[in-house]
Amino acid sequence: MDVSQQGYLQDDGAQSHPSPSIDSLTQTAIASRPFMELSWTDRLLTPAILLSMIVGVIIGEFVPGVQQAFDLAQFRGVSSPIAVGLIVMMWPILTKVHYEALPSLFMTWHNWLHIFISLFLNWIIGPFLMLGLAWATLPDLPEYRTGIILVGLARCIAMVMIWVGLAKGDVQYCAILVIMNSLLQIILYSPLAVFFINVIGGEDAGLRVAYSDIAISVVIYLGLPLVAGCITRYAVWGITGKDFLERCFLPIFGLLSLLGLLYTIIVMFAYQGHEILHNLGPVFRTMVPLVLYFIIMWTLAFWWMYRVNARYGYGRSFSYDMAVVQSFTAGSNNFELAIAVAIAVYGVDSKQALAATIGPLVEVPVLLALTWLALHLRTALKWHDGGVLTESVPDIESRPVEEIK
């Protein structure tokens, strides 16, 4: 029974009875479902980041000598405690990637088509859009602008699978794109950063980056965790089995990533406590290009997939679940890598690193809102599936009224 669309209950041989309360209850349940399906760590990510920022600022403002204490030991110009935090932050994320799905990349034209679409959106449209938004909104803040550009170049490999799952997209194909972006970032991030910051970004000599600095940072803070993630994934899989890996090990091991992120944010804001308190305006302005970027990229990808589906109806090639994959992959970023590179290249107390840290604070609530929008468009729009015009309906609508109650 389609409760949300019919708006009434009907018994056999009886007249229909309006039931707005059931309709309202159903819509409320549908709207609240994405947030409720998040794990408790994902629900608390944004407030935890805010709390870590506040704690860091308080430490930096009222604890004397904290910066000097962190700088006693360094690794390639980065405080050793920070370097450890950055690697720990990336390790569990790259352990969750389904590398075993890599062979399916080359099996069908369906995969090749979406790979090219994803490459176009993620590595051409995305970086140029972030560059344009950074210049349009932060023309007088070059350091913050550079940090935003670094975020735009880092393609998402972590929470995108969470958003795709909540929006009822194709999680398995999303895993394939995550693998591709993980490998491409090792190859492309360094030259693209030099190109976008030094060449077309037009930054002053003091803000320019050296290819070798970024390349070494990518190898250390992405390459090492990638190798460690592969070894960890398949070692645990081989010893305990895949079911234990996915259901038991990864959820617990994944907490290390959250702890590493929060620890890094606390130390960063401890370094910059005084600077932040006296420059709140630029910090809030940094959120503007990020919010615009997430919304524009998501909307562009989703609209493109829907228009192709409506015009050609290529079965599952451009169905709703694939539109969700492309839109969330294009509309999110690997802020962990951007933070690591910004700290390694410009310093933990730099405005570039501060700007990169704003990324997760903005991304989580914006993409959660876009998840709700995607679920609404799943029913509001008509989608072709295998050449037949259909309307997808949320799972909750097929449940008995008693269960909804």
Find the radius of gyration of the CA atoms of the chain.
Answer: 23
Does residue 61 lie in a domain region?
A: yes
Which residues are CB-contacts of 342 (< 8 A; sequence separation ≥ 6)?
Answer: 147, 150, 350, 352, 353, 355, 356
CA triplet 363, 369, 374: central angle to 5 degrees?
115
Q: What is the pTM of this model?
A: 0.73
Does residue 182 lie in a domain region?
A: yes
The per-residue pLDDT for range 226-285, each reduced to its tens digit, is 899 999 999 999 999 999 999 999 989 988 888 888 888 888 778 777 777 777 889 899
Task: Determine the structural domain holding residue 108 and report its residue range.
Answer: 21-404
Q: What is the distance between the alpha carbons of residues 127 and 149, in angstroms, rounded to a whole number?
A: 7
Q: What is the distance between the alpha carbons of residues 220 and 210, in angstroms, rounded to a whole number?
A: 16
Q: How many CB atoms lie within 10 A of CB 235?
A: 11
DSSP 8-class letter at 155: B
C-alpha 357: how far from chain center? 13
Residues 42, 32 contacting (CB under 8 angstroms): no
Does residue 2 lie in a domain region?
A: no
Phi and psi based region of residue 361 (left: phi greater than 0; alpha: psi -120 to 50; beta: remaining): alpha
Query: In 3D, which of 56, 60, 133 has the Cα closest to residue 287?
Result: 133
All residue ranges of the chain with pLDDT < 70 are 1-39, 41-42, 76-77, 104-106, 158, 201-208, 313-317, 385-405
Give the chain's end-to-end CA distance (angstroms, integer).
15
Domain of 377, CATH number, reads 1.20.1530.20
Does residue 163 lie in a domain region?
A: yes
H or E element, residue 310: helix 287-312
Does residue 1 lie in a domain region?
A: no
- Rounded to 10 degrees, the C-alpha dihedral 288/294/300/301 comes to 170
Query: In 3D, which of 12, 398, 381, 367 has the Cα closest to residue 161?
Result: 367
What total number of domains does the chain contain?
A: 1
Give the helix ranges, DSSP H, for 155-286. Answer: 160-166, 171-194, 211-218, 224-240, 242-244, 250-253, 255-271, 273-277, 280-285
Does residue 7 lie in a domain region?
A: no
In sequence order, what are the beta bridge partners of 17?
9
CA triplet 234, 166, 27: central angle to 5 degrees?
160
Q: For residue 389, report the phi and psi dihedrals to the nearest 5 degrees.
A: -75, 120
pLDDT at 84: 84
Q: What is the distance between the alpha carbons of residues 371 and 377, in angstroms, rounded to a whole number?
A: 10
| CB neighbour burial string for 382-405, b if at least 16 within 10 angstroms, e if fewer | ebbbeeeeeebebebbeeeeeeee
Going from the C-alpha of 372 to that of each of 23, 128, 166, 307, 379, the distances in angstroms are 18, 27, 9, 20, 12
H or E element, residue 349: none
Does residue 157 lie in a domain region?
A: yes
Which residues are CB-contacts of 93 (< 8 A; sequence separation ≥ 6)?
Answer: 157, 158, 225, 229, 254, 257, 336
Q: What is the distance between the alpha carbons of residues 108 and 111, in angstroms, rounded to a whole number?
A: 5
Which residues are CB-contacts of 74 (< 8 A; sequence separation ≥ 6)?
Answer: 80
Q: Residues in the chain, how many?
A: 405
H or E element, residue 223: none
The per-residue pLDDT for range 29-70, each reduced to its tens digit, is 554 566 566 667 667 777 888 888 889 888 888 887 777 777
The token pair at 368 is 């959660």
CA triplet 321, 326, 330: central angle to 5 degrees?
150
Using DSSP, state whether 175 is helix, strand or coil: helix
